[in-house]
Amino acid sequence: MREQIEEDYVFHRDFSKTYPIITHGKGIFLYDETGKRYMDACSGAVAANLGHGVEEIAEAMAFQAKKAAFVHTMRFETEVLFQLAEKIAKLAPHSLNKVYFTSGGSEANESAIKLARQFHKDAGRPEKHIVIGRWQSYHGNTFGSLSAGGDIKRRQVYTPNLINFSHVHSPNCKRCPYQREKEDCDFKKNWSCVRAVESVILELGPENISAFIAEPIVGSQLGAVSPPEVYFKEIRKICDQYNIVLIVDEVMTGFGRTGKDFGIQHFGISPDIMTFGKGVSAGYAPLAGMVVHDRMVESLIENSKGKFVHGYTYSGHPVSVAAGLSALTIYEREGIVNNVQVTGDYLKEQLLALKKHYPIIFDVRGEGLLVGIELAFDGEKGSPFPEKLHASERINSIAMGLGAVFYPGSGSINGYLGDHLLISPPLTVTTDEVDEMVRILENSLKIFIEELKEEETYEITK
């Protein structure tokens, strides 16, 4: 370990690992310095939505950098800022018309939490300060966004520093945290995942609750789990009843990833704030932000002389914004959402076919090209692999050896148990590339099962 620390100057994400050095990428593939090719079956971190080597975006960034690489948005603005804001607002749900830019999703959710707080304070409700989040959700790594999120493992190291926000369970009908069957739930009377939200509001006092934050489809922490169709409609009603700001986190699900412009459009409601990131620039530059409801902007103008008491040095960075403008132009011109719908359905079909032959696949779920498979050593009962086995990480490592990269996750059941893989390739992927991706996944599962048999760890049974 000491030798590795001394041989370079990089603060690595994990000092116990050695990482391949990527020299270039093209389409959905990355190439390392040895010439090995990796199929990017997870778009990096579900961000490289248009794949790699798109010269049009690089040229747009270079063009803007030559004109004006940086302006401070407290003093100046740029033409590309207005152009991209208009494109995003026109895609967003009804009455969300003002776009605030940040560098990453953590900053976007931090901004949303702070705006909700200022909104209430300006309106004469200064006691409203608590955010309600959901367990096994992820909203970022700043202290505010981490406090609102429910990723147990990421939170634990920093527990003494976290804000005292509250949490409810995320809906997950396949593994209901309330031990109920979906058929037994009546959403108007006794849906536990909905009623739990109202119960927490009443316990803490509605006068103290500022915002409720949720991903429309839970990505990295649950592996592409969608809520029941009416869930968000009921949450919208509750937030309206108790004057709570509804924040929908579209950092992973936005810009066509789920087969719609934004994930919340699957559920027919408009939030008060919608955050975004990742796909907005297709990974070509650090860019994220939030789209804000008109009534919140009107309150800001009326009560705070139009000033949001918040900001970042790189908010609205011209080169990043130029990347976003170019990416959104390509999404629109190339009909990317249509491709997601077609190839997403095809991917799920192939994975469901694979599930019939590999009992360690317990579930296949997701929308568009945000698809998850949940892993279990008993595919019928869903008995999870023990945490120490690191099943999803091992399968992904095998896949990397075979030339594909997936997005492994764990703790989807209770923060510790439960393994899954996200399969989320660039939105330009073809059905032929999907076939290759699934073949590599199948071979990875075969090798993993053989390893378990050799270790005599578990007997894999149907």
In the predicted structure, residue 424 carries a pLDDT above the cut 60? yes
CB 355 within 8 A of CB 436: no
- Distance between CA atoms of 24 and 32, rounded to whole angstroms? 7
What HEC string does 26-69 produce?
Answer: EECEEEECCCCEEEECCHHHHCCCCCECCHHHHHHHHHHHHHCC
**How large is the average pLDDT for residues 353-361?**
96
For Cα atoms 289, 95, 316, give the angle at the middle one, nearest 5 degrees: 25
Half-sphere exposure (Cβ direction) of 209: Cα atoms closer than 13 Å: 27
Please provide the size of the chain in residues: 462
pLDDT digits (tens, 9 = 90+) for 243-279: 999 999 999 999 999 999 999 999 999 999 999 999 9
CB 374 within 8 A of CB 413: no
In the predicted structure, residue 349 carries a pLDDT above the cut 70? yes
Instruction: Give the model's pLDDT for residue 7.
Output: 81
Instruction: Give the model's pLDDT for residue 3.
Output: 58
Between these two residues, 241 and 5, which has the higher pLDDT value? 241
In the predicted structure, residue 285 carries a pLDDT above the cut 50? yes
Residue 380: band (very low, low, confident or very high) from pLDDT cuts 50, 70, 90: confident
Q: Percent of the chain at pLDDT above 70?
A: 96
In the predicted structure, residue 315 carries a pLDDT above the cut 70? yes
Instruction: Give the model's pLDDT for residue 462.
Output: 42
CB 410 within 8 A of CB 389: no
In the predicted structure, residue 288 carries a pLDDT above the cut 50? yes
Report how far apart the first and last C-alpha atoms of the chain are (Å, whole number).
42
In the predicted structure, residue 187 carries a pLDDT above the cut 60? no
Instruction: Give the model's pLDDT for residue 54.
Output: 98
Q: What's the whole-model pTM score?
A: 0.96
In the predicted structure, residue 292 carries a pLDDT above the cut 50? yes
pLDDT digits (tens, 9 = 90+) for 23-44: 999 999 999 999 999 999 999 9
What HEC string does the chain produce?
Answer: CHHHHHHCCCCCCCCCCCCCCEEEEEECEEEECCCCEEEECCHHHHCCCCCECCHHHHHHHHHHHHHCCCCCCCCCCCHHHHHHHHHHHHHCCCCEEEEEEECCHHHHHHHHHHHHHHHHHHCCCCCCCEEEEEECCCCCCCHHHHHHCCCHHHHHCCHHHCCCCEEEECCCHHHCCCCCCHHHCCCCCCCHHHHHHHHHHHHHCHHHEEEEEECCCECCCCCCECCCCCHHHHHHHHHHHCCCEEEEEECCCCCCCCCCCCHHHHCCCCCCEEEECHHHCCCCCCCEEEEEEHHHHHHHHHHCCCCCCCCCCCCCCHHHHHHHHHHHHHHHHCCHHHHHHHHHHHHHHHHHHHHCCCCCEEEEEEECCEEEEEECCECCCCECCCHHHCHHHHHHHHHHHHCEECEEEECCCCCCCCEEEEECCCCCCCHHHHHHHHHHHHHHHHHHHHHHHHHCCCCCEC
pLDDT digits (tens, 9 = 90+) for 156-171: 999 999 999 999 999 9
Residue 180: band (very low, low, confident or very high) from pLDDT cuts 50, 70, 90: confident
**How large is the average pLDDT for residues 212-225?**
97
Residue 4: band (very low, low, confident or very high) from pLDDT cuts 50, 70, 90: low
In the predicted structure, residue 236 carries a pLDDT above the cut 50? yes
The mean pLDDT value of the chain amounts to 95
**How large is the average pLDDT for residues 61-88?**
98
**How large is the average pLDDT for residues 188-211?**
91
Residue 459: band (very low, low, confident or very high) from pLDDT cuts 50, 70, 90: low
In the predicted structure, residue 145 carries a pLDDT above the cut 50? yes
